[in-house]
Structure 1
Amino acid sequence: MTPQLQLIPGAIAEMLASVAETGMLTLNDRYGLMAASMDDTLDEDERRAVNRLLRAVLRGRVKIAAI
């Protein structure tokens, strides 16, 4: 049985603002990205924002915070 993940409205915009300010992706942000990646109802702008965050991590511009 797969657990249900639900993205909080406005969470992606909040993540973008937080990451832009700190340069770090927190554990909560990672859970939010996981929920967003499974959310079929995201609009195109939200989907692009998620992709931008993931690319920034891959390129080393955003660090992943240790627990």
Structure 2
Amino acid sequence: MSIQICLLDSALSELFAQATESGHLTLADRYGLLAALLQAESLTDEERSVIDRMLYAIVRGRLRAVDDISVVQPQPSLSTKN
């Protein structure tokens, strides 16, 4: 039984942008990287470069691997109290 994994176009670039903005690589992000690496033979040079840059950022301390599923914070309620 073979499972085929298909990444969306520019998924790795978007992942890189989100991770560098937040400074965190979440559990979901790491699973996305794992999925990309499982299809390494079909990665472009640009996608490989993005993965290398993220791993280098972790080694240098610019990105931190966190156990959170997401770093999205809920928006505060806009209700007014009078």
User: Is the pair's TM-score, using the shorter chain for normalization, greater than 0.5?
Assistant: yes
TM-score class normalised by the smaller sequence: 0.7 to 0.9
Superposition deviation, residue 21 in structure 1: 1.0
Segments of 4+ in structure 1 off by > 2 A?
Answer: 1-10
What stretches of structure 2 of length at least 5 have no aligned partner? Answer: 69-82
Q: TM-score, normalised by structure 1?
A: 0.81
Structure having the higher Rg:
2
1:1-67 aligned at under 5 Å gives the runs 5-39=5-39, 40-67=41-68
Normalising to structure 2: TM-score of the pair?
0.68
- Counterpart AA for 2:45: E
* C-alpha RMSD of the superposition: 1.8
Q: Among the aligned pairs, what percent are the same residue?
A: 40
**Number of matched pairs:** 67
